[in-house]
Amino acid sequence: STLTTSGANSPTTGSHGLKAKGADSQISASQISVSTKGTQANAARAENGARIDLDAATLDTGSAVYGHGLLATGNNSQISLNNGSVTTAGKGAVGAWARDGARIQLGQGTQISTSGASINNASAPQDEKTLSISHGLLASGSGSRIDAADVTVRSSAVSASGARAEA
């Protein structure tokens, strides 16, 4: 299956590839290709306790600014990806970001690749950092974590870390 979005994300409309929101929300998919092109459009986003489970998925946010590959945000939100790939090339686009008590689990040969430049924006959009760097893996906020086994992370972005945890 293939899923493509091309619009920018906004507070009233969403252009995320896959989005689950709320404690009883869940998305499960295998052998899916997700492509997003718009600013702040994430390939897969779980928030407010939601869960997304992916197997053999290919996720690509192109050169979208703040186009994160995987974003899990909020307590108990979870994303798992096995035997898949995530590619981001946009400014400030993180490969896999767990924030504010969320968890991401990566495994079974998953590949993460980021190449976008950093972006320093004093008036950054809602939910984005003033200085956003295209890290491969990022866990930020209390209780956030990324568990990775048998994973390859490639980050060619200036100042970006392959894996980073911060308060």
Give, for all 167 residues of the chain, the pLDDT tens digit: 899 998 776 665 668 999 999 999 999 999 999 999 988 999 999 999 999 999 999 999 999 999 999 999 999 999 999 999 999 999 999 999 999 999 999 999 999 999 998 888 777 677 777 778 999 999 999 999 999 999 999 999 888 999 999 98
Question: Are the CB atoms for 34 and 53 separated by under 8 Å?
Answer: no
Question: Are the CB atoms for 131 and 159 separated by under 8 Å?
Answer: no
Helix (H, G, I), strand (E, B) or coil at 130: coil
Give the separation between CA 58 and CA 50, rounded to whole angstroms: 20
Closest CA to 82 of 2, 147, 1: 147
Question: Are the CB atoms for 79 and 122 separated by under 8 Å?
Answer: no
Residue whose pair of structure tokens reads 């939100």 in the numeric block: 77
- Give 117's contacts (C-beta < 8 A, 6+ positions apart): 91, 92, 134, 157, 158
